[in-house]
Structure 1
């Protein structure tokens, strides 16, 4: 488990949140790109190809890393993340663009 920062001031807290948000945005975009690749590999893709059992297992694993959030709070978050990734994959497919491959820096 990651120890949270404990800034002592409101500006310090907001700066810490901004750093977390920037990292989270980068990870969400990376996840969406990977999910887009998954959509090209599945026999049935998009929203019709959602694997609810896998999604439940994903949330359960995440709750192990974030027990204070717990499964009940993580379900709507991950549902939104999954739907955003699927939406992006469908948009890219409709525009004839393939998912962006991960790059290594």
Structure 2
């Protein structure tokens, strides 16, 4: 999977190009899920989590660093992409927090653990 990210391919047909994209997409899916897991950990550790706890300066810095690594895309294109990635992670963290609270409410004599 790492090869999909590091190996430069020069496909010579639409089929070959789509297969190369599929390999990159497979790696991207794994990375996005891992990022969401790590972001969920941060949400549990922050004093103010969720959408209210967003750090605009950190997000701008993250986009600028990504643009340095992917200059063809640049900040203008990467900004909306990363906003969507960040928001997806926040939604997932909120869903997990709600599910955890519901599980705690369903079990008499127990309380949901704070996240």
TM-score by length of 1: 0.88
Q: Which has the higher helix share?
A: 2
SS in 1 for 2:23: helix
Between the two structures, name the one with larger relative contact order (CA 8 Å, sep ≥ 6): 1
- Please give the alpha-carbon distance, in whole angstroms, between the structure 2 residues aligned to 1:70 and 1:12: 26
Residues 37-56 of structure 1 correspond to what in structure 2 (within 5 A)? 37-56=41-60
Count, aligned residues = 96
Moved over 2 A (4+): none
Could you tell me which runs of 5 or more consecutive residues in structure 1 were left unpaired when the two chains were aligned: 98-105
| Root mean square deviation of aligned Cα | 1.2
Could you tell me which runs of 5 or more consecutive residues in structure 2 were left unpaired when the two chains were aligned: 1-5, 102-115
Is 1:66 the equivalent of 2:74? no
Residues 7-86 of structure 1 correspond to what in structure 2 (within 5 A)? 7-86=11-90
Deviation at 1:3, TM superposition (A): 6.2
TM-score by length of 2: 0.81
